[in-house]
Amino acid sequence: MNRQWFTAAELAGLNLPDLATTARGINMMATRNNWKDQTNTLDQPLARRRHGSGGGFEYHVTLLPHRAQIKLTADHRRREAKTAKPARRVTKADIGRDQMWSWYDSLPENRKTLSENRLRILESVLDLERGGLLKNVAVNLIADDEKIGASTIWSWFDKCRGKARKDWLPYLAPRHAGRTKTVDCHPQAWEVLKADYLRLEQPPFQACFDRLEMIADDNGWTIPSPRTLERRLKSEIHPAVMTLCRKGEDALKSMYPPQERDRTQFHAMEAVNIDGHKWDVFVRWPDGTIARPMMVAIQDLYSNKCIGWRVDRSENGDVVRLALADVFRDYGIFDHIYMDNGRAFASKYISGGTSNRFRFKVKPEDPTGILTKLGIGITWTRPYSGQSKPIERMFRVFCDNIAKHPSFAGAYTGNSPDAKPENYGNRAIPLDEFLAVVDQGIKMHNAKKKRKTRVCRGVRSFD
């Protein structure tokens, strides 16, 4: 990469992963990570005053997160590959080089494109190495980004060993000729095979081919070998389509990387999320019945702090109203809330009057809900999608740290039928004792220091 220094405004405009998209956000990151005090292995500073009008600082690319460095290098190489042409000076003494370039000129365009892509990847590795990374680390990072094996990149370096950089292109070109002919398959036979194979029952390919073979014999269709058809299925049908048809929507969603949340743009009590959680503990209620209690909890999204909770026998509108009232009393009114459209949360007394409340009929005479009355914005999360609500992570911590508390020994039920402890059902905890332990556990959860979130930065607690 020719350019090594960038201002905060320039970095913000490049839209790089793991970096803010505003100059202010970049400067906050620089302050948080002490960029102005960083040096390289030669003790040279990696931040410097910007020359010319405007002032400010410029930062070296090696200060950026690894994914940002990779994206920056790859973008540069793609632009360079479109405009630059490899140097092709030929001397009489360099006969081998002349022959390689002559052979390269005779190649079809698709194989030249492969060679150019390999050269771009090698240049990306070398750029990271010049920035201060060890070569093996740079190779692994680029391999992850390009979705290829690190050993493949090393083999390309081996092909170019001892050759001038300007002559790498022909040495990186594939030598094989590839397949030049495809066996014909009757169009209707191909459609029958796809319809049979792309089903949620996930039939094995051989069984589908056996059925196709019988149908082809009856209709006089020409079909190639099973291996050819299986290879064609994998090459012509996108993996995402294959996964959706054979494994369903949930499997398709798991193919894509999870969303990375950055809550540093919030402030405390700007947004919260609310949900219900059924405790894996048997509790004896005042009337003598024994049942697992349901808790409705509210979490501040900026800090991750549990700011309100109430317990009842079920998730209902009353316990939601009480939990909200506790938060309003202790912390004030928040601006926005994330919740699912369960009956308790989509109750007319909670969210009535909201235009996008996807439960119950909306009637003009409906009462205005508490949240609507207070002007609180509502975002409805996806049903049965735990990753849509950060509070689910908090509930998982509560399961480990509170539900398995020594005070609940013998009353803990396990979180699934096959996870019951040996002392399952030995006792039930009185309600007042249960509430006291939960209250203590939530206070400890909020007060624990050195939380490794972007907001706490390994120093602060949720409090």
Task: Say if residue 427 is in the same domain as residue 318.
Answer: yes
Task: Say if residue 52 is in the same domain as residue 199.
Answer: no
> Which pLDDT score, from 0 to 100, does residue 233 have?
92
Task: Say if residue 231 is in the same domain as residue 244.
Answer: yes
Task: For the full predicted model, state whether its pTM sits above 0.75.
Answer: no
**pLDDT per residue as tens, the chain (463 positions):** 467 888 888 888 888 888 888 888 888 888 888 888 887 766 778 888 887 666 788 888 888 887 888 888 777 777 766 665 555 554 433 447 778 888 888 888 888 899 999 999 999 999 888 888 888 888 999 999 898 998 999 999 998 988 888 889 998 988 765 554 556 788 999 999 999 999 999 999 999 999 999 999 888 888 999 999 999 998 899 999 999 999 998 888 888 877 677 888 899 999 999 999 999 999 999 999 999 999 999 999 999 999 999 999 999 989 999 999 999 999 999 999 998 878 788 888 888 767 665 555 667 777 788 888 898 988 888 766 666 788 888 999 999 999 999 999 989 998 887 778 888 878 899 999 999 999 999 999 999 999 988 899 899 999 9
Task: Say if residue 197 is in the same domain as residue 218.
Answer: yes
Task: Say if residue 151 is in the same domain as residue 18.
Answer: no
> Which pLDDT score, from 0 to 100, does residue 69 have?
82
> Which pLDDT score, from 0 to 100, does residue 4 have?
81
| Domain-terminating residue out of 254, 280, 308 | 254
> Which pLDDT score, from 0 to 100, does residue 365 have?
73
Domain hosting residue 156, numbered range: 68-172
425 residue type, one letter: G
Rounded Cα–Cα distance for residues 22 and 24 (Å)? 5
Q: Is residue 250 part of a domain?
A: yes
Write the secondary structure of 405-463 as one string of H (helix), E (strand) and C (coil): CHHHCCCECCCCHHHCCCCCCCCCEEHHHHHHHHHHHHHHHHHCCCCCCCCCCCCCCCC
> Which pLDDT score, from 0 to 100, does residue 14 have?
84
Q: Is residue 458 part of a domain?
A: no
Task: Say if residue 342 is in the same domain as residue 409.
Answer: yes
Task: Say if residue 79 is in the same domain as residue 92.
Answer: yes
**Structure tokens that stand for 394 in this block:** 């908090």
How many domains does the structure of the chain reveal?
4
Q: What is the CATH number of the domain that holds 391?
A: 3.30.420.10
> Which pLDDT score, from 0 to 100, does residue 91 have?
41
Give the H/E segment covering residue 70. helix 66-83
| Domain-terminating residue out of 230, 254, 278 | 254
Q: What is the CATH number of the domain that holds 195?
A: 1.10.10.60
Task: Say if residue 430 is in the same domain as residue 389.
Answer: yes
Q: Is residue 395 part of a domain?
A: yes
Task: Say if residue 429 is in the same domain as residue 443.
Answer: yes
- Rounded (10°) CA dihedral 452, 250, 315, 437: -30
> Which pLDDT score, from 0 to 100, does residue 49 have?
83
> Which pLDDT score, from 0 to 100, does residue 41 have?
64
**Hey, CA dihedral for 373, 379, 385, 391, is it positive or negative?**
negative
Q: Is residue 408 part of a domain?
A: yes
Task: Say if residue 275 is in the same domain as residue 242.
Answer: no
